[in-house]
């Protein structure tokens, strides 16, 4: 077999890349080791930046997003017994976030690619990447071989793409955090119209949602925590303790139908290119979910990669391909800092660090009382415009 771009991974990065390339008349084949049902129901992030929403709408895969997505014009920072709204409509006019589950984005992209005759292959075994440092790279899987001009590694942090790069080529930066997130989905109407980020002495909590009937919650827990230690009653009791800290707020409870513990880490591998292999999304970088940047960075990566490949196929110029890693990493490192900052601002660290505790409260007071500080949070949260970080 032969195609122009071989894509490893059918997550949002790989699927969106395949779709955007198709719109430019560039062929691709997507290889995914998991089954379609698993991929379409894998619970992940749900906060889309303004630029991500615009990208999906412009690519004609945003109809359901516009119908069902929840557009938010602000978030609440809750601490010290009070709630403080960060008003996007005032601080970054015309820009907002949309709450729409990552698995829904994946469903929309799969449907679009299959409707267009896209070549998506699920449950593919033993994918391997070869001859990446030549102009004739190829992929093998099972007993088959796929020749291509370029390979896009969109297979996540634990995928095969990044480890294929020879030792010594990449510089890897990593930070592990001394806590994790316990995330749940519950069949209960959200208790607030916008996301609530709560900082308490008991630890961080996040009130989010997926639809008018489904709520999403996160609790800061110990690193390596076993989800079996958290029966439903304990989860609701702890969420109430961390969220019912302002007068008049009462947390609605309901059936919990999904729960999992997510480790917190920051990671960047650079450069995001080796020969004809280009990394995108989680295969190149991971951010703690506090800043809601993971999916959005993947979209930014594949926008740049699509533009670069279109230039190469259009006039043979490799300038954008050569600049791909630098351009991506500028935005990646901005998002890394923002995600680290939000994490350190809102989570409880060592209980015997009263100095750090006071610094957190001081900065929270600053962010919630200064329009300039709040605007910095807001513009990073809704996403910096494309082009501004390239």
User: 């015997």: which residue's tokens?
Assistant: 352
Catalytic site residues?
A: 72, 197, 289, 293, 381
In whole angstroms, what is the distance from residue 109 CA to residue 104 CA? 9
Are 78 and 84 in contact by the 8 Å Cβ rule? The answer is yes
Other CB atoms within 10 Å distance of the CB of residue 119: 16
Helices and strands, number each (H, E), in the chain: 12, 20
Kindly state the tokens that stand for 241: 């303790």
Q: Encoding tokens for residue 252?
A: 């609605």
> What's the first-to-final CA gap in the chain, in angstroms?
35
Tokens of 233: 């009653």
Residues in contact with 52: Cβ distance below 8 Å, sequence separation at least 6, in sequence order: 295, 296, 299, 383
Neighbours of 369 (CB within 10 A): 10
DSSP-derived secondary structure letter, 44: -
Q: What are phi and psi of 81, to 5 degrees?
A: 80, 15
Residue 349 neighbours by CB distance under 10 Å: 13
Q: Are strands 277-279 and 273-274 parallel, antiparallel or unpaired?
A: antiparallel
| 209, β-bridge pairs | 215
Structural tokens at position 244 = 């019912």
* Tokens encoding 117: 């005759």
Helix ranges, 272-353 (H): 294-315, 319-346
């Amino acid at each position: 077999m032969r195609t122009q771009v071989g894509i490893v991974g059918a997550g949002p990065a790989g699927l969106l890349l395949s779709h955007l390339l198709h719109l430019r008349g560039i062929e691709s084949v997507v290889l995914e080791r998991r089954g379609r049902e698993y991929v379409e129901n894998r619970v992940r992030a749900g906060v889309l930046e303004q630029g991500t929403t615009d990208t999906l709408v412009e690519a004609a895969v945003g109809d359901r997003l516009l119908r069902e997505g929840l557009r938010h014009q602000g978030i609440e920072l809750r601490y010290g017994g009070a709630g403080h709204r960060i008003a996007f409509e005032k601080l970054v006019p015309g820009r907002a976030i949309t709450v729409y589950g990552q698995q829904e984005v994946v469903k929309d992209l799969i449907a679009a690619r299959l409707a267009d005759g896209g070549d998506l292959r699920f449950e593919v075994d033993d994918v391997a990447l070869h001859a990446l440092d030549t102009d004739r790279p190829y992929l093998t899987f099972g007993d088959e071989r796929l020749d291509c001009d370029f390979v896009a590694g969109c297979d996540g942090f634990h995928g095969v793409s990044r480890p294929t790069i020879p030792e010594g080529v990449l510089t890897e930066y990593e930070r592990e955090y001394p806590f994790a997130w316990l995330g749940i989905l519950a069949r209960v109407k959200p208790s607030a119209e916008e996301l609530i980020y709560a900082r308490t002495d008991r630890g961080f909590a996040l009130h989010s949602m997926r639809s008018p009937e489904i709520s999403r919650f996160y609790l800061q827990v110990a690193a390596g925590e076993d989800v079996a230690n958290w029966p439903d009653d304990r989860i609701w009791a702890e969420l109430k303790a961390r969220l019912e800290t302002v007068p008049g707020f009462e947390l609605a409870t309901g059936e919990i139908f999904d729960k999992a513990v997510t480790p917190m880490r920051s990671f960047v591998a650079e450069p995001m290119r080796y020969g004809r292999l280009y990394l995108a999304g989680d295969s190149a970088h991971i951010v703690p979910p506090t800043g809601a940047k993971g999916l959005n960075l993947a979209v930014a990566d594949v926008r740049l990669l699509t533009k670069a490949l279109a230039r190469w196929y259009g006039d043979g110029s490799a300038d954008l391909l050569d600049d791909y890693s630098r351009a991506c990493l500028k935005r990646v490192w901005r998002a890394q800092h923002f995600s680290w900052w939000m994490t350190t601002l809102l989570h409880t660290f060592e209980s015997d660090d009263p100095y750090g505790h006071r610094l957190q409260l001081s900065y929270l007071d600053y962010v919630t009382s200064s329009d300039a500080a709040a605007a910095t949070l807001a513009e990073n949260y809704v996403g910096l415009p494309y082009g501004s970080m390239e």
